[in-house]
Structure 1
Amino acid sequence: MTTGSPMESAKRPRSILAGPYAHPFHPILVTVPIGAWVASLVFDLASAAVSDKEAMFAEGAYWLIALGVVGALAAAIFGLLDLLTIPRGTRAFKVGLTHMSLNLFVVVLFVVGFLVRAAQGYEEFSGVGTLISIVALALLGLSGWLGGELAYRYGVRVASEETQQEGFR
C-alpha cells in the first residue's frame, strides 16, 4: 500500500483528538451508549415484571437512556473525526454516512422515548417508551454492523497490514 492512497488516508487520524494511529477513540466510546441503552431495556422489562419495584426500575431505565444519549453525543464527535478521514465518493464513505445517519436517528428515537417517559411520569412502566427503545436498539444493531464493515472490511482507522504483521513475527 502506498502512502497517500485513499485507503491509507482512511487509516490515519486527521487530528490526534481522534486517537493515535490504529487506536481510534470512537470504538471505545460507543460502549457507553450501547451498554446504557441495553441496560435501560432490561430495566424496562424488569419494571413491567416486578410490580413492587416498578418505580425503581422505570426510573433507572429513564436515567440510563439519558446517560446513553450523552455518551452517544460524545462518541459521535469522535466518529465524525474518523468519517472525515475517509475519501468522499468511496464505498467506505457511503457506508460511513449511512452508519452516522442511523446512529443520529437512534439518538433522536431515544430522546423521544426519554421525553415520552418524562411526560407520563418516569416512575411508571412505559409501553410506548419500551417499544421505542426496542426499535432504536434494532437500528443500533444494524448501524453497529455497518461500523464493523468500516473497521473490519474496509480497514478504516485500522493499522496497515504491514503494521499488523509485526504481531505475527
Structure 2
Amino acid sequence: MSAPLHQAKRPVTALAGPYGHPLHPILVTVPIGAWVTSLVFDLASHVVPDPAFLVRGSLWLIAVGVIGALAAALFGFLDFLAIAPGTPAFRTALIHMALNLLITAAYGAAWAWRATTGPEPVSAGPIALSAVALAALGVSGFLGGKLAYRYGVRVADETTQAEGFRP
C-alpha cells in the first residue's frame, strides 16, 4: 500500500472517528435529511388549507440542516487533512468540500430569505433555490462516494476488511 493511500485511511486525530469508522459520513445524514424534508414541506405548503406549520417546519429544517452541515464539515475537514496534496483524491475532496460549503451558504441565505416571510405558501424563488442546492448536494454526495468507495479514503485496508469474512 502506498504511503499516501495508507495516510488517507488513518484519522489525523481521534476526534475524526476511529480507524475504519469515520464520523463524517454519519453526520452528513442530518443536513441531507433535513434539507430534503424541507423541500417536501415547501411543496406541501401549496396543497394544504393552512400552510403555516409547513412553512415554519421548513424554516426549522433548513436551520437544523445548516447546523448539521457545519458539524459534518468539521469532521470532513479532519478527514481532508489526511489526504496527500496533489493527488486525484485530494482534488476530488477539494471540489467536494467547496461544493458543500457553497450549498451550506445557499441554505443559510435561504433561511434568511424565508425568515422575513409570513405563513403563506413558500414562493417559487426559495423552492427553486432549494432544488438547485439539492441537485448540487447530489453531485457532492457522488464525489464523497468516490472518495470512500473508489479511493478508499478513511476506509479500512483490505486485510482489516477480510476479518469480517473469516468463517
TM-score range, shorter chain: over 0.9
Of 42, 54, 58 in structure 2, the residue corresponding to residue 57 of structure 1 is 54
Q: Secondary structure at the match of 1:140?
A: helix
User: Aligned partner of 1:76: which letter?
Assistant: A
1:41 to 39, 42, 49: 39
Return the match for 1:94 from 78, 91, 94: 91
Distance 2:26 2:18 in 1: 13
- Residue 85 (structure 1) aligns with: 82
Deviation at 1:129, TM superposition (A): 1.0
- Tell me which residue corresponds to 1:21: 19
In the superposition, the TM-score normalised over structure 2's length comes to 0.96
TM-score normalised to structure 1 length:
0.95
Query: Gaps spanning 5+ residues in structure 1: where?
Result: none
- 1:103-162 CA distance string (max 9 Å, x none): 0000011111111111223x2223211111000000000000000000000000000011
Q: Give the Cα–Cα distance (whole angstroms) in 1 for the partners of residues 141 and 148 of structure 2.
A: 11
Aligned identity (percent) is 60
Partner AA of 2:115 in structure 1: A
SS at match of 1:69: helix
Which structure 2 segments of 5+ residues have no match? none
Name segments (4+ residues, structure 1) moved above 6 Å.
none
Q: Deviations over 1:41-94 (max 9, x none)?
A: 0100110121x2311111111110000000000000000000000000100000
Structure 2 match to 1:150? 147
For the pair 1:159 / 2:156, whether they are aligned, the reply is: yes
Question: 1:73-152 residue pairs with structure 2 within 5 A?
Answer: 73-121=70-118, 123-124=119-120, 125-152=122-149
C-alpha separation between the residues in 1 aligned to 2:46 and 2:90?
A: 42
